[in-house]
Amino acid sequence: MSTEAPAAPGTYDNRVAFAEELIALARVDERIVAVCNDSVGSSNLTAFRDEFPDRLINVGIAEQNMVGVGAGLANAGLIPFVCAASPFLTGRSLEQVKADVAYSQHNVILCGMSPGMAYGELGPTHHSVEDLSWLRALPGLDIAMPADRLQTRQAIRALVAEPRPTFLRIGRHKVPDVTGETTPWTRGVFPVLREGTDVTLIGTGTLVSRALAAADALALDGISARVLNASWIAPIDTAAIVAAARETSAIVVAEEANLAGGLGAAVASIVSQLEQGARPPVRLMGLTEFAPTGSTDFLLDYFGLTADEFARHAREALAHG
66-85 confidence digits (pLDDT tens): 999 999 999 999 999 999 99
Separation of alpha carbons 57 and 69, rounded Å:
9
Separation of alpha carbons 24 and 27, rounded Å:
5
| DSSP 8-state secondary structure symbol assigned to residue 26 | H
Q: 203 and 113: one domain?
A: no
Separation of alpha carbons 263 and 216, rounded Å:
23
Q: 295 and 153: one domain?
A: no
**Is the residue at 269 inside a domain?**
yes
Q: 77 and 210: one domain?
A: no
Q: 37 and 90: one domain?
A: yes
Separation of alpha carbons 102 and 86, rounded Å:
17
Separation of alpha carbons 132 and 260, rounded Å:
9
**Is the residue at 101 inside a domain?**
yes
> For residue 238, what are the domain limits?
192-320
**Is the residue at 9 inside a domain?**
no
**Is the residue at 221 inside a domain?**
yes
Separation of alpha carbons 203 and 196, rounded Å:
15
pLDDT < 70 regions, the chain: 1-7
Give the number of domains in the chain: 2
Give the pLDDT of residue 181: 87
Q: 86 and 225: one domain?
A: no
The DSSP secondary structure of 66-98, one letter per residue, reads HHHHHHHHHHTT-EEEEEEEHHIIIIITHHHII
Q: Where are the alpha helices (DSSP H) in 174-292?
A: 208-220, 238-247, 263-272
CATH number at residue 59: 3.40.50.970
Give the pLDDT of residue 163: 97
**Is the residue at 177 inside a domain?**
no
Handedness of CA 84, 47, 166, 127 (dihedral sign): negative
Give the pLDDT of residue 5: 52
**Is the residue at 116 inside a domain?**
yes
Q: 134 and 204: one domain?
A: no
CATH number at residue 235: 3.40.50.920
Q: 141 and 277: one domain?
A: no
Cα-trace Rg, the chain: 19
Q: 209 and 302: one domain?
A: yes
Give the pLDDT of residue 277: 87
Q: 118 and 243: one domain?
A: no
Domain boundary among 170, 204, 237: 170
Separation of alpha carbons 242 and 70, rounded Å:
37
Q: 140 and 204: one domain?
A: no
Q: Does residue 113 contact residue 122 with C-beta atoms inside 8 Å?
A: no
Distances (CA, A) of 165 to 12, 39, 124, 138: 27, 21, 27, 11
Give the pLDDT of residue 3: 44
Give the pLDDT of residue 2: 42
